[in-house]
Amino acid sequence: MAESLRGGVIGAGVFGGYHARQYARLDGVVLSAVLDPHPDRAARVAVPLGGRAFHEMADFLEAVDVVTIASPASHHAAQALAALEAGKHVYVEKPIAVTVADAEKVRSLAQARGLVVACGHQERVVFRAMGLLDVPEQPRFLEALRHGPPSERSRDVSAVLDLMVHDLDLALSISAADPVTAESEGERGPGGVWDVVRAEVSFEDGFTARFDVSRMAPERRRHMKVVYPSGEVEIDFVTREFRNTTPFALNPDFADTPAATDPLGASVEGFLQAVRGEAPRPIVTAEEAIRALDLALAVEQALEDAA
């Protein structure tokens, strides 16, 4: 493998551009290629950063060592499998796939080939900067709200797989228990897709987590409350207000840390460190991404059952 890894990005949309810029700026990697069905879009992202534009997968894969998949979610699994078959390490944006069966194929192939698969649940970086991943108590209650105005992005999946999956992953990351039940209700938006969803998930140790997401809100709102036996933590991620009544030394200035300022950069850097053998694993593994996907699909099934 070359001293500088050749980075490639599949998808020349907004997130593809974000990922391309990470490869262009990080040490030890260069942006080599961007793949998109529309060559002009690929060129607009790749060329200013020193990369080349591709519209054929085989040619693209010959030009890269590591691949980021930032295409619509319904394409994630097939593109990840193609990259892994070609011997490339893969960073796939969330969700890792849209079915657990496809996600498990990705994990199995990576294990068989000895390749790294990371998933883009960048919120883990923020929780780590805050110190919440190191709290020595199990949570008793979590409440998460994530609202935003309408967007054309990620219209191929519901708000559960687009937005709620972030907070489902965070709940799983702070709990040692497994989820046992999911109940949900919601509203469909244009095209019959679930755009407003409220869900409650119960865990085997009594931990209860409530989630509220919307892609039809008038403004951006995002906050979370976590209740522990010894106190509560409340975070408003928009205003950066922070309240902690637990005895644990959490960081109220988490939003100003380098990792929280650029969680995508920290997540991609963690992926590259795992590829080089400098870290034992990426920040979010395929197995963890599959757990979040499995729970998200349980929430979606509860929506359909209640409809």
Task: Residue 146: give its domain's CATH number.
Answer: 3.30.360.10
Structure-block tokens of residue 54: 């591709």
Asked if pLDDT for residue 1 goes beyond 70, the answer is no
Asked if pLDDT for residue 2 goes beyond 90, the answer is no
- Residue range 118-169, pLDDT digits in tens: 999 999 999 999 999 999 999 999 999 999 998 877 788 999 999 999 999 9
CB 76 within 8 A of CB 93: yes
pLDDT at 305: 94
Residue 86 and residue 20 in one domain: yes
Asked if pLDDT for residue 108 goes beyond 80, the answer is yes
Cis peptide preceding 139, ω within 30 of 0? no
Local confidence band at 179 (pLDDT 50, 70, 90 cut-offs) = very high
Q: How far apart are CA 83 and CA 186, in angstroms?
A: 36
Q: Which residues contact 30 (CB under 8 A, 6 or more apart)?
A: 4, 5, 6, 7, 23, 24, 50, 51
Asked if pLDDT for residue 65 goes beyond 80, the answer is yes
Asked if pLDDT for residue 279 goes beyond 80, the answer is yes
Q: Which residues contact 241 (CB under 8 A, 6 or more apart)?
A: 234, 235
Asked if pLDDT for residue 7 goes beyond 80, the answer is yes
Residue 71 and residue 169 in one domain: no
Task: Residue 90: give its domain's CATH number.
Answer: 3.40.50.720
- The mean pLDDT of 39-63, rounded to a whole number, is 97
pLDDT at 152: 78
Supply angle C-alpha 302, 209, 136, rounded to 5: 145
Residue 171 and residue 240 in one domain: yes
Q: Which residues of 230-252 are buried (b: 16+ CB within 10 A; e: fewer)?
A: eeebebebeeeebebebeeebeb
Expressed as residue numbers, the domain containing 239 is 123-256+292-306
Of the given ranges (13-22, 153-162, 220-229, 297-306), which has the lowest mean pLDDT? 153-162
Above pLDDT 70, what percent of the chain?
99
- Share in percent of the chain as helix, strand, coil (round to 5): 40, 25, 30
Tell me the pLDDT of the chain averaged across its residues.
96
Residue 249 and residue 222 in one domain: yes
- The mean pLDDT of 193-219, rounded to a whole number, is 97
- The mean pLDDT of 254-264, rounded to a whole number, is 91
Residue 55 and residue 106 in one domain: yes
pLDDT at 3: 78
Residue 133 and residue 98 in one domain: no
Supply angle C-alpha 113, 119, 121, rounded to 5: 165
Q: How far apart are CA 142 and CA 212, in angstroms?
A: 11
Structure-block tokens of residue 206: 């009594």
- The mean pLDDT of 59-73, rounded to a whole number, is 97
pLDDT at 191: 82
Residue 28 and residue 67 in one domain: yes
Above pLDDT 90, what percent of the chain?
92
Residue 155 and residue 206 in one domain: yes
Q: How far apart are CA 78 and CA 92, in angstroms?
A: 11
Please tell me the number of Cα atoms within 13 Å of 74 on its side-chain side: 6
Residue 230 and residue 270 in one domain: no
Other C-beta atoms within 10 Å of 165: how many? 28
Nearest 10 degrees: CA dihedral of 263, 268, 272, 274? 60
Q: Is 276 exposed, middle or buried (0-12, 13-18, 19+ CB in 10 A)?
A: middle
Residue among 9, 10, 66 nearest 270 (CA): 66
Q: How far apart are CA 207 and CA 199, in angstroms?
A: 14
Q: Residue holding tokens 């290629």?
A: 33
pLDDT at 151: 82
Asked if pLDDT for residue 53 goes beyond 70, the answer is yes
Residue among 3, 5, 43 nearest 16 (CA): 43
Q: Is 208 exposed, middle or buried (0-12, 13-18, 19+ CB in 10 A)?
A: middle
Structural domains of the chain, count: 2
Residue 28 and residue 171 in one domain: no
What global pTM score does this model have?
0.95
Residue 222 and residue 106 in one domain: no
Diameter over CA atoms, the chain: 56
Residue 152 and residue 296 in one domain: yes
Asked if pLDDT for residue 18 goes beyond 90, the answer is yes
